[in-house]
Amino acid sequence: MKTIVRIARLELNSLFYSPVAWLALIIFIIQSGIDFAAALQMWERYQEMGSKPTMLTSQVYASPMWGLFSLEQGNLYLYIPLLTMGLISREIHSGSIKLLLSSPVTIPEIVFGKYLAMITYGLILLSVLVLCGAAGAFFIKSIDIKLLLSGLLGLYLLICAYSAIGLFMSCLTSYQVVAAISTFVIFAVLGYIGNVGQTIDFVRHITWFLSISGRSAQLISGLISTKDVGYFLIVIALFLGLAILKLRAGRESIPPMLKTVRYVLLVSVMLLLGYLSSRPALTGYVDMTATKSRTLTPNSQRVMKNMHLPLKIHTYVNMLDANYFYGLPNFRNQDRDFFEQYQRFLPDLTIDYVYYYDTSKNERLFKNNSGVSLSALAQRAAHSADFDFRKVLTPAAMKERVDLGPEEYRFVRQLEYANDHSPDSNGRSRKTFLRMFDDNVRVPGETEITAALKRLIVTPPRVAFLTGNNERSMDKAGDKDYKMAARELTFRYSLINQGFDVIDLSLPDSSIPKDISAVVLADPKTAFSPEELDKLSRYLSAGGNMLIAGEPGGQDLLNPLLRSFGVQMTSGTMIQDSKDFAPDFVRATFSSGAETCTPAYETLRQDHSTIAMSGAAGLTYEETGMYTIHPILVTDEKNTWNRPGGPGPDTGKLAYNALLGDDKRQATLALALTRKVGARQQKIMVLGDADFMSNAELARRNAKTANFPFIVELFKWFSDGEFPIDTKRPEAPDNKFFITRDDIYLLRIVLLVVIPAILLIGASVLLIRRMRS
């Protein structure tokens, strides 16, 4: 060990007695200072404009776009080859390598000594970033220290890997420039090789593992995994081993075949270790972020812990769908990484792919290829994607496997879980679909994925939409209907994509099943028969949950049902003054007691969120003792009144005042009713508007409203919090800057002028003295 340290000390002396090491260090400081100051200035301006930044440590240091560590990660490859190019090639060129090889010093000691010198210099480079991190500790409230340490570890491992590669390349030639260029080439190969052979199954896994691209990015973002750390250690060991074998081959007289066997054996052992370290069951993870943002939320983890059997994900790829490219072979490694957070908890998770062709909603494709048969069009799509069309199933063959007609033949995944313990599984596996969405993100997020997984291990809540009296339909795309909220396949927030089962229920023809989680009665147009009212009464008497949404003009149809609760819809229509919208467009606010329904409503109230209602009737109620009644949505008392039918605003305001009484200043538009029925709590929501959940209202873009979160939390209330899945994270503590522009200016002076000037003067003095001595 002493010999290794002595060689490292001599190599460092040699390194710093040349201008290259000093220039590289000075340029790195300047480059880091520019990037660091730019990131600070951007977020300081953001905060100065009144915005509230969040996760500042990640934004300033780890952001792929402007984070200091991410930017310097992309610059390190420029410095290392200039420093490693002479480690061995200088000895070869001068002939001193022969003296080294004939001395009592062993070859591993030579290699490890020179490598120790390089990683020591790497620590000096890293100290520049440590300095920037220490500066951030003064400027950022509650800076995430563990995230910084993870990022620094990732950068240092990258430096160490680059140094090992550079040292080996320096063993291959006596020309330093050739060694540097060769090192650049190896860096480029390791960065690009992950794109090679992605359409070939066996080759794809090997090249993806060999790729160095993105390895340190995981650590910079705060996730330390044994497979990434193991990758760097394997690369280091591989190239140091190759360097030792190369130098040893120069002093040993052995057959070329034996030399080749040594190289092959070394590479094979390293690849085997790499394969083992990347196996999901053998991979360990440490999330270094303060909010554990690189790990599934606790609610998702609880679902994972209840899944004890293998999970299969069948990916069905329609070659004629607009999203087909997500399932192509060259995207499979990205697909695997997409589910990596889940595979951490479900190491037996497997993904397979089935390719087929059938009609789809890809209107542009069919318009541009009018008259072309499905088969011919699918062949074109396969050819354009370099995919073997023989692997694509015909529509008939696909239907024998699974009928995707209800899924509109879109790109979809089917999750299959062998849930033998489920009461309704009968020993069979349970299945559910995971869909793509027509929004900017397109892929499902944690909320949607966890909801789909949870459906496999619990009985999902069923929501029944009543039909038979011309109620709002959950299957129609009309402005007044509920398809988007209930069962729109491509809408992320529809009930079917948030974990619910939704069904149509014709009240004249059927009774309400006992396993229904909630019944939706929305704006009936015809009166209920006594038999229908009796069915509703029996359901409610048994403690069933219900959403009742009426419209002005429909009071006489719903009031007979509402009377049993002590609730009534008032006659007339609520009117609200507005310079931008129609008079009957009301923006309801949350009442002070809305949190009794769900805490999320209190958050919306504090944010001054409003719920859009296009034509609403007021609600009155009387405490009968049967139900506990809480107003949830109310009107703004300053500019809203009730219009009983007369055209004059004064008449309407008088009627509104008479409706409210002298002791009330707001009209109620939504009521939550609860009571205990046996062991469960019955929940009823009554609204004086049925448009709050309509297709048109959910698609509204000309007013900022909170209808989405209101609906999500409403059905979460009905399902006792089971669905939708709450994947919100606690607010990051590092959410405030203590820095001014003058501070940033001073920081620029220090990093771009003072420190480089000191180093330049010190280097000049040292080199001049060296030349004179």
Chain segment 581-628, per-residue pLDDT in tens: 888 899 999 998 888 888 899 999 998 899 999 989 999 998 887 899
HSE-CB for 174 with a 13 A CA cutoff: 8
Report how far Cα 340 is from the mean position of its chain's Cα atoms.
11
**What would the mean pLDDT of 412-419 be, rounded to a whole number?**
88
Q: What is the pLDDT of residue 648?
A: 39
Selected residue with higher pLDDT from 661 and 238:
238
- In this structure, the number of other CB atoms found within 10 A of the CB of residue 96 comes to 11
What is the percent of the chain where pLDDT is above 90?
A: 54
Q: What is the pLDDT of residue 647?
A: 36
Strand 573-576, strand 640-643: pairing: antiparallel
Question: Which of 115-129, 201-215, 235-249, 275-289 has the lowest average pLDDT?
Answer: 201-215
Question: CA-CA distance, 392 to 320, in Å (whole number)?
Answer: 11
Residue 640 above 80 pLDDT? no
673 forms beta bridges with 629, 684
Between the two ends of the chain, the Cα-to-Cα distance in Å is 31
Q: What is the pLDDT of residue 45?
A: 87
**What would the mean pLDDT of 86-112 be, rounded to a whole number?**
80
354: pLDDT confidence band, cut at 50, 70 and 90? very high
Report how far Cα 769 is from the mean position of its chain's Cα atoms.
57
DSSP letter for 18, please.
S
Judge whether 693 and 547 are in contact, CB under 8 Å: no
Q: What is the pLDDT of residue 644?
A: 60
Q: What is the pLDDT of residue 335?
A: 87
DSSP letter for 439, please.
S
Q: What is the mean pLDDT of the chain?
A: 88
Judge whether 655 and 641 are in contact, CB under 8 Å: yes
**What would the mean pLDDT of 725-729 be, rounded to a whole number?**
91
Selected residue with higher pLDDT from 545 and 260:
545
Question: CA-CA distance, 400 to 525, in Å (whole number)?
Answer: 42
3-state secondary structure of 415: strand
pTM of the predicted structure, to 2 decimals: 0.87
675 forms beta bridges with 682
**What would the mean pLDDT of 757-761 be, rounded to a whole number?**
93
Question: CA-CA distance, 262 to 171, in Å (whole number)?
Answer: 17
212: pLDDT confidence band, cut at 50, 70 and 90? confident
Question: CA-CA distance, 162 to 67, in Å (whole number)?
Answer: 21
- Which sign, positive or negative, has the C-alpha torsion 617, 621, 626, 628? positive
* pLDDT per position as a tens digit, 282-306: 889 999 999 999 999 999 999 999 9
Selected residue with higher pLDDT from 127 and 423:
127
Judge whether 474 and 483 are in contact, CB under 8 Å: yes
DSSP line for 162-190: HHHHHHHHHTS-S-HHHHHHHHHHHHHHH
423: pLDDT confidence band, cut at 50, 70 and 90? very low
Which residue's structure tokens are 């299945």?
Answer: 431
Q: What is the pLDDT of residue 590?
A: 92
3-state secondary structure of 40: helix
Question: CA-CA distance, 516 to 13, in Å (whole number)?
Answer: 79
Judge whether 353 and 317 are in contact, CB under 8 Å: yes
Burial zone of 717 (CB within 10 Å; 0-12 exposed, 13-18 middle, 19+ buried): buried
Buried-exposed string 38-71: b where 16+ CB fall within 10 A, e elsewhere: ebbbebbeeeeeeeebebbbbbbbbbeeebbbbb
Q: Which among 545, 490, 489, 485 is positioned nearest to 707, based on CA atoms?
A: 485
**What would the mean pLDDT of 352-381 be, rounded to a whole number?**
92
Rounded to 10 deg, the angle between the 741-749 and 19-48 helix axes is: 180
Judge whether 342 and 304 are in contact, CB under 8 Å: yes
Q: How far is CA 433 from CA 361, 388, 489, 497, 700, in A?
A: 18, 26, 10, 9, 28
DSSP line for 646-679: -S-HHHHHHHHHHHH-TT----EEEEEEEEEETT
Residue 650 above 50 pLDDT? no
Torsion of the alpha carbons at 531, 535, 537 and 543, rounded to the nearest 10: 170
Q: How far is CA 715 from CA 464, 475, 594, 725, in A?
A: 12, 19, 15, 11
Lookup: tokens for 126? 């890293």
**H or E, element range at 619:** strand 619-621
SS3 content of the chain, % helix, strand, coil (to 5): 50, 15, 35
Question: Which of 14-28, 101-115, 707-721 has the lowest average pLDDT?
Answer: 101-115
Judge whether 410 and 316 are in contact, CB under 8 Å: no
Q: What is the pLDDT of residue 521?
A: 95
**H or E, element range at 680:** strand 680-687
Q: What is the pLDDT of residue 426?
A: 54
Cis amide leading into 724 (omega within 30): yes
Strand 285-287, strand 392-393: pairing: unpaired
HSE-CB for 357 with a 13 A CA cutoff: 17
Judge whether 546 and 521 are in contact, CB under 8 Å: yes
3-state secondary structure of 685: strand
Residue 397 above 80 pLDDT? yes
763: pLDDT confidence band, cut at 50, 70 and 90? confident
